[in-house]
Structure 1
Amino acid sequence: MGASDFANLPHIGESVRRKEDYRFLTGAGQYTDDIVLANMAQCYFVRSPHAHAKIRSINKTAALAAPGVIGILDGQDVAADKINGLPCGWLITSTDGEPMKEPPHPILALDKVRYVGDHVAMVVAETLEQARNAAEMVEVDYEPLAAVVDVRDAQAKGAPAAHDIAPDNHCYKWAIGDKGEVDKAFVGAAHVTKIDLVNNRLAPNPMEPRAAIGHYNRAGDDYTLYVANQNPHVERLLMTAFVMGLPEHKVRVIAPDVGGGFGAKIFLYAEDVCLTWASKKLNRPIKWNCDRSEAFLCDAHGRDHVSHAELAMDKDGKFLAFRVHTDANMGAYLSTFAPAVPTILYATLLAGQYKTPQVYVEVDAWFTNTSPVDAYRGAGRPEATYLLERIVSRAAWEMGVSQDEIRRRNFITEFPYQTPVALQYDTGDFIACMDKSQELADVKGLEARKAESKAKGLLRGVGYSSYIEACGLAPSNVAGALGARAGLFECGEVRVHPTGSVTVFTGSHSHGQGHETTFAQVVAARLGLSPDQVDIVHGDTGRVPFGMGTYGSRSISVGGAAIMRALDKIEAKAKKIAAHLMEASDADIDFAGGEFKVKGTDKMVTFGQVALTAYVPHNYPLDKLEPGLNETAFYDPTNFTFPAGTYICEVEVDPATGVVRVDRFTAVDDFGTIINPMVVEGQVHGGVVQGIGQALMEHCVYDRETGQLVTGSYMDYTMPRADDFPNITIGHVCTPCTTNPLGTKGCGEAGAIGSPPAVINAVLDALAPLGVKDLDMPASPNRVWAAIQQAKA
């Protein structure tokens, strides 16, 4: 079945209400913290108060004698049991051919702590209060050392070194593109636009903080880890094969309902291993719940780039070449996918929607005494889009053309299109996205709205952002050549029951995306069922075949495609059964709308009849077919999918206070085939809100002298709220993806990718009459006001 046929099936494109919402809205969801095991103990971690320090000694005597304490484990215990450190899942090779510096990442610090919040010891007690009280009694003798937290400071000569293996704090240097050709293009350029940008560090802050329960079963000598995680099979693989040295069949990882992830729950964390290991050592199930203060300190952060970019153009504003240098902050350790974010997932998107003939990108990655930095909603794509769309708008202003016109002059219009930075776009219609966005944004009425704002003493500006992203990391062989230490396929198993209802087991995982509904729509559409007849199972390595989880907007395009492959097998076998029942050849059987028909006749049997026959094989071709109707398929995509769109933001700025108000926001996206418009709209809304949050308010700040996280709570780290936003206008253009059977493209990260540059470009457009030419995120009132005062000086 082709993508165009699939898009026309019943249930596809329908806003079916989410099946899972009833249990969530009525409090019947089961999250990790809802799980209570017999004889379960509680854990609390002793964390470093220093950004960098030697551990001289740890005295646990008083804490061990505290009420309710079961055990206290530290780095010495880890070393004695030969538990390895956390692995990094992506290897980057430097431009000199040497592998990246990959320092050990112990689950409990042994000799040094390297960031505030680093794991020092775990205290296990009967109750959480007892564990917390005992943790305060653990006496750690630290020798504080100088720390470095800013990526610009990390590369300075004589800067404190986070690791002996990297005395200059340098992790790797990586590059892509033809530097020589780029340099030549700049020589003949009529105009060059330059920009220096900081992409601010973010704390992910999912609604449900991380949580885990480690449970060792002596009877079977096996383990179960309940964990709020986005990819349980990867968690199990990393923990068993690389850290604990256990056979995979001895460990079951269950990720029940998960209250948001945004990338922060992809990774294997130290706490997960600690609880699994300690549950055997102490012979008790052990639960740990991350509180919000801990989450700020120890969840992997996102972004944190410092970049310089230059765009060369001819006299008409046509792009000739683009060159970029980025310094990327890795934090204190290499988190699971961290090296891929500022390289493969960032630099390869810097062609954007534009037919720039030459692009060269160079990335230096650095260690600092901060929380590790890894994938956060968009993972590299927001960083690329922000840099590119900021410099494109600046180039427009410098060349004296409008933001939309400079984009139109340079849009790619013929597909497939090979970019100069590895990726090949299969399809798209960037002009249509721009046209629809301008129509929905009522750009023609902008001047009248500017006049209304001016009458109130306010400044109004408009900002454009035309993004493209690569979703569904693929294919495995290419990813492997680029450093991935795992495959990037997905698995789907379809079990048809005797009554004709269906259970689907998927290696993808839902943490808010609505898989239980959209995957059911896909299966129901193919088999002619109601979505209520389809049950979706995920998040349990004991029930689901090996899968790679959810990240990179891959679920429907990769996970859904695997299910489609399994459905192809189901349909092929079912046609044989139907042919036998109707005494025909299976080549003469058509299947549509849940009915099998013999071509050119009125003979027909239903899908339910075939299903029953498969399990009650009284009239069955047993000499040719096995009973049953279960099939499994793996899908390894041949290319990324490439969602794209144009976002237009209008803001009002109060020059007296620096307050920015988003007045209008329009998002037009091309997601290919859309399964459920309501779910997609919700994903776009959520992403746009996170992107505006980064643009205007969110920012992780470390004290550059002490390494303390200054923004360690909601009192200091500003999160966006509902009344910070207008109604978001949503529109769609559809060019179906040509490389998967559904024609779908990812939608989960688009809003967070396209919105930050649209917002900042709008703010700068508003401030242009005052002489403000540059501003880094977040555009908080204080920063905007200060920029205005500086421009006046």
Structure 2
Amino acid sequence: MPKDGGIGASTLRREDIRFLTGKGRYTADISLRGQAHACFLRSEVAHGRIRSIDTSAAEEMPGVLAVLTGEDFTEVGGNPTGWLVQSRNGATMKEPKRPVLAHGKVRHVGDAYAMVVAETYEQAKDACEAIEADIEELPAIVDMAQAVADSSNRVHDEIEDNVVFDWGWIEENRAAVDAAFETAPHVTTLELVNNRLSPNAMEPRASIGDFDSGTGDYKLYTTSQNPHLTRLLISAFVMGIPENKLTVIAPDVGGGFGSKIYHYGEEAAVLAASKRLNRPVKWVCDRSEAFLSDAHGRDHVTKIQLATDMEGNFLALRTETLANMGAYLSNFATCTPTFLHGTLMAGPYKTPLVYVNVKAVLTNTVPVDAYRGAGRPEATYSLERVVDKAADELGLDKWEIRRRNFIDPGAFPYTTPVGLVYDTGNYHATMDKLHELSDAAGFEARAEESRQRGKWRGFGLSTWIEACGIAPSNLVGVLGCRVGLYDAATIRVNATGNISVLVGAHSHGQGHETVFAQLIAEKLGVDANSVEIVHGDTSKIPFGMGTYGSRSLAVCGSAMMKAADKIIDKGKKIAAHMLEAAEGDIEFTDGSFSVAGTDRQKSFAEIAFSAYVPHNYPLETLEPGLEETAFYDPANFTYPAGAYGCEVEVDPETGGVDIVRFTCADDFGNVINPMIVQGQVHGGVAQGIGQALLEGVVYNEDGQLLTGSYMDYAMPRADDVPSFTVDHSCVTPCTHNPLGAKGCGEAGAIGTPPAVVNAVVDALRRAGHGHVTHIDMPLTPSRVWTAMQG
């Protein structure tokens, strides 16, 4: 059994005390002395040329302190993308400039082109409405296929075909893949849409810029998953502020799901306004703005083909995808449909040949970037839907076709045809566990009971694998990444024995303050309550790469373990001196340093006190103090995997879908806090159900957002989701990090959508609607009902 507060214990989240009692401190809660308030004027047309902007009336309105437009930022740089992708012909991708405020053109509804700063937000908002802008409306580019076909209409004038890149992976595989399809006994083809999503974190974005004219220092308080990256982008690319003169602070953050990884123009704008006015400037996004300005997710249109023999053995796979970038390239937009998507198209299967083609397309819509799972949900959805369709066409059992093609447990480490090396895994075990927990054997009886009540029941199966903790830096650098992907931790042991751990990862709902404390408690043999976790402030923490991609535990947690090892090593040196023993004879166990084979020992607290009060201390060989920093750059991704089962009931009269059972069997490697892992899976499954049944961003042909509020954009509610059965007992530890951890935060959002869609198609097939082989998400009642009509 795990000890209290250590690894393996379902310790309650310590941060929840302040969150549930209203004591959290979010950016919107911060009020600095003398702060002014900002409001942004956003485009009401999707595509237009800015002829003129008249701010004179706004400048004379009560309380107005300043009005800024794109003209005020022409001398600063643009917000860059973090990953340069090469086209399959070797050409470097096209990278249009993304300004702080739109200049020359507006390129999507919601594109900010002016900013008003006033004494109050209400005054700033009123003044925004007084700005007169002459914008020549141009034809909107919304449909990706049309954007590629019509070169006369361009989102960015300098990009003639609206295509950022035409990527092939792995290009050397293409001829062999094509040849395999020419001779394959059976080919299954499926065209599908991975619907665009709005992230809808509980806390909208907010930023406060604070310039100190006495020192020339800037502070930015902002809702960020990645404060160091935000500082780097603003300093090196957007504003040219010396990095040592800019502090970025991300306090409590109420959810992100990827949408708060990136740097947004509002952050630079409040800093510039603060310097102009010599007072703090605050902006808080409202929910309507969030729909128009926060980076969206997904939005792929894919043709996928699977070649098999007549027994269902996979021979080759190929895909062609149009990936929507929106109007600008957000920071990680280019790697999401490529290296986070194409490299996962092998899934858990031993398909010998795979080729992936992705065209990244610009449109007059909100920029698209990573959203929970980031490329892996898109890959899994395409793959698991085509596998199900192939099973139907070949008359094979959907469990058996997967088992037949799984990578054998004895084949690891396994190199996939799309360039990844899976270090460990057992996909048969997770699917067998799913079969057991979902009571697959009893499904037919449940289906009959549903039929008696006038409902059609279906079972959907999906298996998934993802790559977490993007790494290593030297490899991703070769592939085009512009940043390192390590993380860092500093462990500061205070003189009285309590500990501060300063981490580069950022917590915005994951429970880091609890789980990271558990790690240190276990490693150093101390009470978890004596461990404080510090994050989110670039003036305090070591340079780290933030939180996304299920990397916090595997990457930042590993850095913590390396730093703890340094603490223990120094502690042994101190203990050897105090106990008059050889360093090699000192053992460290359960928080005590002892001489091997004796009862002579010193507690961790005694060693810490001696380090800061070095009266009996090896000063000639060792510096005082007990503080260590470590960086960890992984040797490989981690590869969590699992199998999900969904049972639905479909109402034949309305097409309404109810999820009545949902089961998850996951392999997350070694688990630190089972309760938190379970909560992460619950949240991901809820988001996956939202995508499958309810959510979808919709634009009309003029580029107007039709789903710009919760009246139109359907988020999942409590009665849309069942109680989940969640299991993570199938463990194959990661072999290349000291924790053996793999990551769990995105699993539910990856495995759920195909399981739900597979279940609905299965229900219709069982009810005699065999003509329905696919329905695009979201599977609203009207879409399901329409599909049933043939």
TM score, norm. by length of structure 2: 0.98
| Aligned partner of 2:201 among 206, 217, 237 | 206
Map Cα deviations across residues 39-94 of structure 1 (whole Å, 9 max, x no partner).
10010000000000011111111111111100100011212xx1222111111111
Match of 1:233 in 2: 228
Following TM superposition, the consecutive aligned residue runs of length 4 or more in structure 1 with deviations greater than 3 angstroms are 6-10
Contact 1:649 1:666 in 2 (8 A): yes
The whole-number CA distance in structure 1 between the counterparts of 2:599 and 2:151 is: 84
Which runs of 5 or more residues in structure 1 are unaligned?
A: 1-5
Match of 1:172 in 2: 165
Match of 1:139 in 2: 132
Match of 1:650 in 2: 647
The whole-number CA distance in structure 1 between the counterparts of 2:533 and 2:102 is: 40
Change (3 A) 1:68 1:628: same
Contact 1:358 1:420 in 2 (8 A): yes
The whole-number CA distance in structure 2 between the counterparts of 1:673 and 1:504 is: 22
SS at structure 1 position matched to 2:87: coil
| Aligned partner of 1:383 among 367, 378, 386 | 378
Match of 2:429 in 1: 432
The whole-number CA distance in structure 1 between the counterparts of 2:211 and 2:288 is: 29
Letter in 2 for 1:451: E
Q: Does 1:718 align with 2:714?
A: yes
Contact 2:692 2:777 in 1 (8 A): yes
Pairwise CA distance, 1:580: 1.2
The whole-number CA distance in structure 1 between the counterparts of 2:385 and 2:285 is: 37
SS at structure 2 position matched to 1:167: coil
Match of 1:3 in 2: none
Structure 1, 358-367 or 602-611: larger mean CA deviation: 602-611
Match of 2:676 in 1: 679
The whole-number CA distance in structure 1 between the counterparts of 2:278 and 2:493 is: 40
Q: Does 1:326 align with 2:325?
A: no
Match of 1:584 in 2: 581
Contact 1:683 1:748 in 2 (8 A): yes
Contact 1:153 1:159 in 2 (8 A): no
Match of 1:259 in 2: 254
Pairwise CA distance, 1:294: 0.5
The whole-number CA distance in structure 1 between the counterparts of 2:346 and 2:97 is: 35
Pairwise CA distance, 1:295: 0.4
Aligned length in residues = 782
| Aligned partner of 2:117 among 124, 128, 143 | 124
Contact 1:101 1:165 in 2 (8 A): no
| Aligned partner of 1:729 among 720, 725, 728 | 725
Letter in 1 for 2:127: A
The whole-number CA distance in structure 2 between the counterparts of 1:608 and 1:321 is: 60
The whole-number CA distance in structure 1 between the counterparts of 2:688 and 2:583 is: 52
The whole-number CA distance in structure 1 between the counterparts of 2:718 and 2:92 is: 45
Q: Does 1:664 align with 2:657?
A: no
Pairwise CA distance, 1:669: 0.7
Change (3 A) 1:530 1:63: same
Q: Does 1:409 align with 2:368?
A: no
Match of 2:153 in 1: 160
| Aligned partner of 1:104 among 80, 90, 97 | 97
The whole-number CA distance in structure 1 between the counterparts of 2:339 and 2:348 is: 17
SS at structure 2 position matched to 1:316: coil
Match of 1:293 in 2: 288
The whole-number CA distance in structure 1 between the counterparts of 2:141 and 2:533 is: 47
Q: Does 1:497 align with 2:494?
A: yes
SS at structure 2 position matched to 1:620: coil
The whole-number CA distance in structure 1 between the counterparts of 2:703 and 2:112 is: 16
Letter in 2 for 1:335: S
Change (3 A) 1:578 1:174: same
Q: Does 1:539 align with 2:536?
A: yes
The whole-number CA distance in structure 1 between the counterparts of 2:2 and 2:94 is: 47
Match of 2:695 in 1: 698
Map Cα deviations across residues 370-425 of structure 1 (whole Å, 9 max, x no partner).
00000000000000000001001111111111211110000111200000001000
The whole-number CA distance in structure 2 between the counterparts of 1:157 and 1:286 is: 43
Letter in 1 for 2:97: P
Map Cα deviations across residues 403-449 of structure 1 (whole Å, 9 max, x no partner).
11110000111200000001000001111100111111111110011
Pairwise CA distance, 1:152: 2.0
The whole-number CA distance in structure 2 between the counterparts of 1:502 and 1:402 is: 55
* Alignment map for 1:344-493 (pairs within 5 Å): 344-413=339-408, 414-493=411-490
SS at structure 1 position matched to 2:334: helix
Change (3 A) 1:114 1:182: same
Contact 2:381 2:754 in 1 (8 A): yes
Letter in 2 for 1:718: A
Map Cα deviations across residues 87-140 of structure 1 (whole Å, 9 max, x no partner).
111111111221111111111111110000001100000001111111000010
Q: Does 1:610 align with 2:603?
A: no
SS at structure 1 position matched to 2:130: coil
Change (3 A) 1:320 1:569: same
Query: What is the RMSD of the two structures over their aligned residues, measured on CA atoms?
Result: 1.1
SS at structure 1 position matched to 2:234: helix
Match of 1:558 in 2: 555
Which runs of 5 or more residues in structure 2 are unaligned?
A: none
Contact 2:341 2:375 in 1 (8 A): yes
Map Cα deviations across residues 566-611 of structure 1 (whole Å, 9 max, x no partner).
0010010001111111111111111111111211112111111111
Map Cα deviations across residues 285-338 of structure 1 (whole Å, 9 max, x no partner).
111011000000010000000000110111211111101111111000100010
Pairwise CA distance, 1:188: 2.7
The whole-number CA distance in structure 1 between the counterparts of 2:122 and 2:746 is: 38
Letter in 1 for 2:150: K
The whole-number CA distance in structure 1 between the counterparts of 2:726 and 2:191 is: 31
Contact 1:308 1:324 in 2 (8 A): yes
| Aligned partner of 1:70 among 53, 65, 68 | 65
The whole-number CA distance in structure 2 between the counterparts of 1:10 and 1:514 is: 14
Contact 2:330 2:367 in 1 (8 A): yes
Contact 1:161 1:168 in 2 (8 A): yes
Map Cα deviations across residues 493-535 of structure 1 (whole Å, 9 max, x no partner).
0000111111000000000000000000000000101110100
SS at structure 2 position matched to 1:338: coil
* Alignment map for 1:330-341 (pairs within 5 Å): 330-341=325-336
| Percent of aligned pairs with the same amino acid | 60
Match of 2:9 in 1: 14
The whole-number CA distance in structure 2 between the counterparts of 1:157 and 1:125 is: 43
The whole-number CA distance in structure 1 between the counterparts of 2:599 and 2:143 is: 74
The whole-number CA distance in structure 1 between the counterparts of 2:145 and 2:783 is: 20
The whole-number CA distance in structure 1 between the counterparts of 2:145 and 2:193 is: 11
The whole-number CA distance in structure 2 between the counterparts of 1:491 and 1:587 is: 28
SS at structure 2 position matched to 1:46: strand
Pairwise CA distance, 1:158: 4.5
The whole-number CA distance in structure 2 between the counterparts of 1:556 and 1:452 is: 44
The whole-number CA distance in structure 1 between the counterparts of 2:258 and 2:158 is: 28
